[in-house]
Amino acid sequence: MAIAVLNWNQKTVPERIIRVKFIVKKMTENAAVFVAPNPPLSEVDEDIETLAEATVNALAGGYELTYAKNTANEVLHGKMVQLQSYVQNISGGDEGIILQGGFEVKKSATPSQTPGQVENLSAVPSLAEGEILLNWDPLKYAKVYQVEMWVEGDDGEGFWNPIATTTKSKFTQTGLVTGTVYRFRVAGIGSSDAFGPYSQEASSVAP
């Protein structure tokens, strides 16, 4: 199975900007395949411009300008991890579809780079209203974890929506509707941003 990767840490900021612009261009050209990118490409475009401007401003030096650049980089990286997950899900591991989305492809990864499947995911109501607590076993080789929640569309169709990335083996989802059942799944992301298999689903009623 082919895996969509970003190789974010191997790129300079200008290289990241060029790659993200290329991804947006490719996904726009192949809109028939990538019907509803998450996050929307318009948001990614805005974040590209924010990072580009912040990078130029940071050349003047100073803590505040450098901090703004680093913050813009982190925001764009977070959006791209979500978009990477979307493309991977759409592709089903098909290399051609991943390439249509502008992402680089890792056909296989060594065990030291690719995490295994997240295990023992649990979802329980919090003591606070509208919050569900997620916990799972720490995973070897996982640099961060991608948390996704199932979203039902008005047409009866649904999709897995990336809601967070976290370095911890737990997460609290807030802002939920009391009495509603929510479904979650989690995947580990290793070096080179390679995704491991998603966990089994866990569900809970929001308090």
Show me where the domains of the chain are located: 3-106, 122-205
Query: Which pTM does this prediction carry?
Result: 0.59
- State pLDDT tens for residues 89-125: 999 889 999 999 999 998 654 555 788 999 999 999 9
Average the pLDDT over 153-172 and give the result: 86
CA count, 13 A, side-chain hemisphere, 207: 13
**What CATH number does the domain located at 122-205 have?**
2.60.40.10
One-letter amino acid of 166: T
One-letter amino acid of 197: P
**Extended beta strands in 82-131, E state:** 104-106, 122-125
Please provide the size of the chain in residues. 207
Q: pLDDT-based confidence at 186, cuts 50/70/90?
A: very high
Pair of tokens at residue 92: 């089903």
- State pLDDT tens for residues 13-32: 999 999 999 999 999 999 99
